[in-house]
A and B are shown apart, each in its own frame.
Chain A
Amino acid sequence: MNTQNRQFQLPAELEAQTIIERISAQLPLGKRIEERDLLTYYDSFDWRLFGSGMELIVRRQGRKRTLQLRSQNDGGLIESLTAGTRMPVFCRDLPAGGGMRRALDGVLQMRALMPQVELRSRITTLPVLDDEEKTVARIAFERHAAREPGKGKFRDVPGRLLLLPIRGYEESFERLIGILLEAYALPPGNEGLLAAALAAIGRIAGGYSSKLDFSFQPEQPAASVAREIQLQLLATLELNLDGTKANLDSEFLHDLRVAVRRARSALTQIKGVFPATDVERFKPELAWIGQITGESRDMDVYLLDYDRYRTSLPQRLRPDLDPLHDFLQAHQKSAYRKMVRQLNSERFRRLLADWRDYLQSTSTGSDDAPAALASIAQVANKRIYRIYKRVLAEGSLINADSPAEALHELRKNCKKLRYLIEFFQSLYPKSDVQPMIRAMKQLLDNLGLFQDLEVQAEKLRHFAHQMVAEGEVPVDTLLAMGMLVDGLLRRQAEVRLDFGSSFAEFSGSENRKAFKALFAGKTEAA
């Protein structure tokens, strides 16, 4: 039975003192308390805490930091923690077994906590008293200012007046609300403080997501749609560039690479919308970005999986693996150094600039780009259906004796299909597309895992050779790695057994009918 706070906007020109005098004529008010506060909101680059309804507030107290995890809805405290002088960045930096780590682990995963906005507040609170001088409600006047964490000028955040109830004194609270609203027609305020603080510095919570979110109209010319897709992917790449170079967490590079892969797929799979010469010009350049970032990503993946590798070994052998961790860390560092040099190169800078110029230039339609002016619905239907049929054909040829390459090849086409459907989702009814994406995702997960396990096993063997070449490596470490390779290949064999059922579901008659109806219906009629 907890009555909620009531929040109102407090116009800058309305003095707290004026309101206090007005109310105290009708209700006894106690001694005012003045508080100052300075805090920073933390979240991951892609707002994972915010996305799951939480806010992390960090205050400095001398050399220590206090962390408070609050619920967005009611501001209720979920967990709190006093950290040492270093701000925890990853989940693994939080005390093991502690509540904060438990609360953040699944949400934050591999992402780093980053300061998002700094908030400075002046809060004046007055108690409303009864005849025993007991507090029966409170009034709080809040003035806030926000800035980019640690830099720049503070900018005003709209002020707020809060009425805070006290349990068991609901009547007094209602009375207070009545008195306030009778005197001032204050507009209600229901914006959260985080949202208001971000707005003051021109940002929004949840401002970045790696998910594709396009909205196209079926009649739009295909070339303009393709440009829009590419521009969005380019923006995603650019947004992740600083975090990648600084290696804030592994997800920046991951998102960057996914954006590049999607861009390459869009460039070659949305056929006929750009002149072939232009496609030929940018295709190898985008592939080059994939190459220069590949090794860093590999190292990230092994480091992310390291704990799982380690725990897959018998307890007693786990320490044997530790030299591999050192090896991975050292190689990750040098891979990143090499990559960052390339990302800072003239070639890379010029590539992004040229690509952007090209996408923003207005030229449309040319003999060389026959589909440029066709409707996107037509192009999308045709491409999706063609790739879909190719996947079906390739998949149905696969049997227990097929070489691994056949599955890898199928995965490539499946991925193309998935990207295409994701780009053009908005052209189709959600209820039709979602089940297809789900069936496809299951097949892709199976194929992906099959290939990843093989690559990982192969790579681990390669690492073993490299470690030997680089100097002393304990035999026990090599043996432990051998066990890992064995485990990976065994799992790969198991995963292969699941292929049949994943593919059967994907190629089932239900799904076939659905694909046909959605993507082939119109083109065939036309």
Chain B
Amino acid sequence: MKIIGVYNIKGGVGKTAAAVNLAHLAARAGRRTLIWDLDPQAAATFYFRVKPRIKGGSRKLLRGQRDLDRLIKGTDYANLDLLPADFSYRNMDLQLSAAKRPGLQLQRLLRQLSAEFDYLFLDCPPSISLLSENVFRAADALLIPTIPTTLSVRTYEQLQRFIQDNGIDGVKRLPFFSMVDRRKRMHLDILETMPKKFPELLATEIPYAAEIEQMGIYRQPLFGYVASGSGAASAYRALWQEVRRVI
């Protein structure tokens, strides 16, 4: 099982959109895929029309008193399952820090799923926390949607430093440009300069597109309602191709 954390310190950058659409693409290719909505705001859970509730909350889950297996919900799409969000996830840091090896709790927990799925997508909440450290240590790759602005570049550097300082070396960083608006001067500038600085940057960019925003209206992944030739759809397909190749 490949674990892909979809993460950024910043909020509203297209993490959930990427996690949902890429997971859907993987599932459509026949891969057994799970998406875990780790964000108490429950956006991914909402897109899949699942109730944002898990029995026993995160406390029991982290203590291993609940089989993850029994909490998983099938989505409307073949091969694609969801581990829903729960409001109690807001306290996860506290619960994690109570454990013996606080940074490795998630990794330990996810082992039980490894035979059942080919891909696990972790849709992370924004901010940097003990939970995100757990994600970094558990994941094979971190997919990092990045809006092409000066500030985004700074936060990416912050993240880089955090990962290095904490000696987390098992995870591949895969930043990509998200919500790109080529009419904006600054976007164009950053698109030009950032790849030179960060060779790990993926080539695919996800454009700013009204179609993507409409996921919330349709409550479906993008491919549930757009024509397959749409620009946004093609961009996510290209992104998935690229990610699959490098992980």
Please list the residues of chain A having a beta carbon within 8 angstroms of any beta carbon in chain B: 1, 77, 80, 127, 132-135, 166-169
Contacts and interface: CB of A to CB of B under 8 A. Distances in A.
Given A77-B30, A80-B30, A168 B49 contact: no
Contacts of B70: 1
A169 B73 CA distance: 7
A133 B74 contact: no
Contact of A166 (B71, B74, B219): B74
A148 B81 CA distance: 39
Give the 5 A-B residue pairs with the shortest CB-CB distance, closest first.
A168-B73, A167-B74, A134-B49, A166-B74, A132-B49
A168 B76 contact: no
Contacts of A134: 48-50, 76
Interface string B69-93: 1111110100001000000000000
Given A132-B50, A167-B74, 11 more contacts: A1-B67, A77-B30, A80-B30, A132-B49, A132-B51, A133-B49, A134-B50, A135-B76, A166-B73, A167-B73, A167-B81
Given A132-B49, A132-B51, A134-B49, A168 B74 contact: yes
A132 B76 CA distance: 12
A127 B73 CA distance: 16
A169 B50 CA distance: 11
Contacts of B49: 132-134
Interface of B: 30, 48-51, 67, 69-74, 76, 81, 219
Nearest to B46: A132
Nearest to B69: A1
Nearest to B67: A1
Contacts of A167: 72-74, 81
Contacts, number: 29
Chain B interface, DSSP helix/strand/loop, else mixed: loop
Interface centre among A127, A132, A135, A168 (most CB of B within 10 A): A168
Contacts of A77: 30
A135 B74 CA distance: 9
Nearest to A164: B74
Nearest to A136: B74
A168 B48 CA distance: 13
A127 B76 contact: yes
A166 B71 CA distance: 13
Given A132-B51, A133-B49, A134-B50, A168 B30 contact: no
B151 to A, nearest CB: 36
B49 to A, nearest CB: 4
Contacts of B69: 1
A1 B69 CA distance: 7
Contacts of A127: 76
A506 B71 CA distance: 60
A167 B68 CA distance: 13
A503 B188 CA distance: 85
A515 B136 CA distance: 70
Contacts of A168: 71-74, 81
A1 B73 CA distance: 11
Contacts of A135: 76
Nearest to A138: B76
A404 to B, nearest CB: 54
Nearest to B49: A134
Contacts of A169: 73-74
Nearest to A135: B76
Nearest to A132: B49
A132 B73 CA distance: 14
Contacts of B219: 133
A269 B51 CA distance: 76
A134 B219 CA distance: 10
Nearest to B70: A1
Contacts of B74: 166-169
12 contacts: A77-B30, A80-B30, A127-B76, A132-B50, A132-B51, A133-B49, A133-B219, A134-B50, A135-B76, A167-B81, A168-B73, A169-B74
A1 B71 CA distance: 10
A177 B213 CA distance: 38
A438 B35 CA distance: 53
B79 to A, nearest CB: 9
Nearest to A30: B76
Contacts of B71: 168
Interface centre among B49, B67, B72, B74 (most CB of A within 10 A): B74
Interface centre among A80, A133, A166, A167 (most CB of B within 10 A): A167
A365 to B, nearest CB: 66
A168 B71 CA distance: 7
B98 to A, nearest CB: 28
A169 B51 CA distance: 12
Contacts of A132: 49-51
Contacts of A166: 73-74
Contacts of B51: 132
A17 B239 CA distance: 43
A167 B34 CA distance: 12
Contacts of A133: 49, 219
B83 to A, nearest CB: 10
Interface centre among B51, B72, B76 (most CB of A within 10 A): B76
A168 B54 CA distance: 11
A134 B48 CA distance: 7
A133 B48 CA distance: 10
A476 B98 CA distance: 75
Nearest to B83: A168
A288 B107 CA distance: 71
